[in-house]
Amino acid sequence: MDLIDLRILRLLRKNARESLGTIGDQLGISKATVSRRIARLEEEGYVNAYTMRVNIGKLGLMRALIALQVVGGPLSAVIEELKRFPGIQYAYKVFGDHSLICEVYSTSVDALYDLIQDKIVGIPNVQRVEVDILIERIPINEDAMFDLALPMTDAHESKERG
């Protein structure tokens, strides 16, 4: 991993469908070099997948985070129960006031309420449930992961040069 690799990742984060030639032109390297570097980044596990962002409002959906406190039983049992509900996309194990935070899609506030009250609250060992409806995603620094990786890359390059 070096600075060119990070610059490639930044460009792919902005547009995963960007052509190799365009990336090469922007970085001053050949299309073949970009291709080899991307293949290596994928092979080494830096790139796990390519994805797209969907406008959920156009689909008639809203998104929420549901935080669960699980007490007296294994998280794995609660996670297995959550898998039964199609509106839950992800469950994150977290360290803090909650045990799990679920990323949920819903067709309405009423449907979200029903999911929580009729289903989630009834899962054994779920003690507390809190919900936050997501209104707007506001980018602060979409390159934060790359900015924080720079010191690691600089240190790695210094070792290679020294």
If asked whether residues 84 and 125 sit together in one domain, one would say yes
If asked whether residues 39 and 95 sit together in one domain, one would say no
CATH code, domain carrying 48: 1.10.10.10
DSSP 48: -
In the chain, the percentage of residues whose pLDDT exceeds 70 is 93
On average, the pLDDT of the chain sits at 92
Please check whether residue 32 lies inside any domain of the structure: yes
In the chain, the percentage of residues whose pLDDT exceeds 90 is 86
CB-based burial label for 47 (10 Å; 0-12, 13-18, 19+): middle
CATH code, domain carrying 93: 3.30.70.920
Q: Residue 12 is part of which domain span?
A: 1-53
If asked whether residues 35 and 66 sit together in one domain, one would say no
In this prediction, residue 22 carries a pLDDT of: 97
If asked whether residues 96 and 41 sit together in one domain, one would say no
The 10s digit of each residue's pLDDT in 56-105 is: 999 999 999 999 999 999 999 999 999 999 999 999 999 999 999 999 99
User: In angstroms, rounded to a whole number, what is the distance separating the alpha carbons of residues 71 and 77?
Assistant: 12
In this prediction, residue 76 carries a pLDDT of: 97
